[in-house]
Homo-oligomer: A and B are copies of this chain.
Amino acid sequence: MGLELTASNIVKRFGERELFSIEQLQVQEGESLHLSGDNGVGKTTLMKILAGLDKPCAGRINVTPNMKGRWSTSLHPKVIYLHQTPYVFSGSVKDNIAYGLKLKGISRGQIKRTVQSALEWARLEEFADHAAHSLSGGEKQRLALARAWVLTPGLLFLDEPTANLDKQSVDSVTELVRKMVDGGAAVMISSHQTNPLTEVCQRSLLLADGKVSESQFPKEMLFDA
């Protein structure tokens, strides 16, 4: 696999207010990063920009290898961003997990098997045919993770993925991230909490005053309950 993302001179403004201005940010294959920072510093905005869902006011983001298909989809097919509060499509839990797979033109049998194992991982088997809208907050979060996981992303942005998860779920997400990173994928996680997941992260980025700084965990910024 092996994706490499380079962002240079990224600036984001909302009206007058400059949210951040980042000179250089690199994410390499097999890396896991923890992005921290106070509410409203722009973690979500930054991750969306890196994932190609939002446009910076200035600067360039480069993902190599560039895997643009014949249909210029403009988004990199191996880069996935997960919302802070995930959006679930109408339809069943199963449909949601199969969404990305169906777009890839994978065989029905293969999709079925993949969806089944994703349901198991997310412990949502019993809800497989329920309307995804009726899931609880944490269940939706797990669904969104499973929905991204089945697509074997090379670069995964997780926006506060564990905020609403119970202990067991956090552990399985941690396990998942560890495996993905071992497999050569890169994962960036934003979180206000320190927990098993953030602890597996190799690099720790702090977004503050519009700048990103690489740092040891500034523990005092986080809970150490």
- A residues at B contact (CB < 8 Å): 14, 37-40, 42-44, 84-85, 134-139, 141-142, 160, 163-170, 192-196, 199, 220-225
User: How far, in angstroms, from A85 to B43 measured CA to CA in the complex?
Assistant: 18
Please tell me which one of the listed residues B40, B164, B220 contacts residue A39 in the complex, with CB atoms under 8 A apart. B164
A169 to B222, CA, bound (A): 11
Counting every copy of the chain, the complex holds: 2
A192 to B43, CA, bound (A): 22
Cβ–Cβ contact A139 & B39, under 8 A: yes
Residue of B nearest to A127 (CB): B40
> CA A163 – CA B71 in complex, angstroms?
39
Alpha-carbon separation in the docked complex, A198 to B116 (Å): 37
Given pairs A39-B137, A167-B223, A193-B223, 14 additional interface contacts (CB within 8 A) = A37-B166, A39-B139, A39-B164, A39-B165, A42-B136, A84-B164, A85-B85, A85-B137, A137-B160, A163-B164, A166-B192, A170-B223, A195-B225, A225-B225
